Amino acid sequence: MPPTSSRLDLVDALRGFAIVSIMLLHNLEHFDLYHKPAGQPDWLVALDQNVWDGMFFLFAGKAYLIFALLFGVTFHLQFSRRAAAGEDFRPRFAWRMVLLLGFGMLNSLFYQGDILSFYAVMSFTLLPVARLGSRTVLAIAAVLLLQPYLWAQVLQALPQPNAKLPDPASWAWFARTNEYMTGGSMLQAYLGNVTIGKTAAVLWSWENGRFFQMPALFMLGMLAGRAGVFALSDANRALWRRLLVVAVVCFAVLYAATKGLDAAVTGQALQRPLMAIVKSWSNFALMGVIVAAFSLLYQRGTLVRALNAFAPLGRMSLTSYVSQSMVGTALYYGFGFGLYKITGATACLLIGAVLAVLQGLFSAWWLKRHKQGPLEALWHRLTWLGAPATALGRPAS
C-alpha cells in the first residue's frame, strides 16, 4: 500500500473511532442534559454507575484530544500538498476555518457543547507555526501543554492556599440550560444552546485549560504528519510500541497523582488549579495510550478489516458529528421524545451504539456512491470558492 494512502487509511479509521467515542459519551450525557431517572431497581442503578464511570474514564477528555491530534495531521497533509505545488495553503486554510466556524455555530443550535467552533477559532494558531522547524513547534506545544494560565492561578493561590473560591463562572450559565432543554420549545432550545449554552461551554473550556491543550494537540498532530508516523511500516510499528509503553507509565503516574491530590493538597484555592492541570496531563497520557494501541492493532493483518469499519465515519466526520447532534437532542430534549426522563447510562450506551452502527452503515453506503460526505463536499466546494475550476478536483483530506 502506498505510504500516503496507508497513512490516510489509519487516520480515517482512528478519526472514525473518535467520532464513535464522542457519540457514546454524548448519549450518556443526554447531550448535556444531565438527569438520572427515578424509580429504577438497585441493580440497574449500580450498573448505570459502572457504565458511566467506565465510559468517562476511557473517553471523557480523550476522544476530543484524538480528534484535535488528527486535525493537525490533516492540516499538515493539506499544507504539504499545496506546498509541493508551489502554493501557500494558509490563506485558503484561514477561509476554510471561517467556514468551519459557520458549521460549528450551526451545530451549536442543536448541541451547546459543539467542538467544531472551538477548533475553527483555535486552528489559527497553526498559521504562524506552519513553517517553523519541528523542534521549535514541539517546544511551543510543550509550553501550551504545561497549562501556563492554570499555573498562574497556582502561584496566585500560594499566599492563601486555603482561601474559599467562588464557584466556576461556567456553573451559573450551565444551571440556566436545563429550563429550555427540558421544557422549552424547539426554537427556545436552539436559541438557548447558541447563546446561554455556548457561553457556558466557552467558560468551562477556559477554566479547564482546553484553550491551551487544543492548539498544542493541533501542533503535535502537524508534527506527527511531518514525521509520517501514521504510515504503515515496521519502523512505525516499533515506534508505536515504545510510545505505548511510555504513555502507559505516564498515565499510571498521573492517574495516581490525581487520586492523591485530595489528601496532599487541602486548600481549595490551590487544589482546584492543580487538579485541572494534572487531569489535563492524565487525559493526554491516556489519549496517547489509546492512539498507540489503536495504531498497533491496525497494523495487525487480522484486525485491519475490523478497525476499518470506523473509516467511513472518519471520512465523513463533519457530517457524522453534526448529524449526531441533530438526532441526539431530538431524542433526549423536552421538545423531542424526552428520553432523558427514562434513560440511564446503560440504556443510553445501547442507544448510542445503535446510532453509531446506523451512522456507520449510512456513511459506507454514501461513500460507495460519492467521493465525500454531503457536508464535506459542500465544505470543499466553498473552500475553493473563487479558485480556478481545476481546484475543485483537488483531493480533500
Summarised one tens digit per residue, pLDDT across range 175-215 is: 999 999 999 999 999 999 999 999 999 999 999 999 999 99
Which pLDDT does position 58 carry in this prediction? 92
Percent of the chain with pLDDT over 90: 80
Output the pTM of the full model. Answer: 0.91
Domain that holds residue 367: 3-393
Amino acid at 75: F
Q: What is the mean pLDDT of the chain?
A: 91
Please, what is the end-to-end C-alpha distance for the chain in angstroms? 18
Total count of domains within the chain: 1
pLDDT per residue as tens digits for the range 141-166: 999 999 999 999 999 999 888 888 88
pLDDT per residue as tens digits for the range 339-389: 999 999 999 999 999 999 999 999 999 999 999 999 999 999 999 887 765
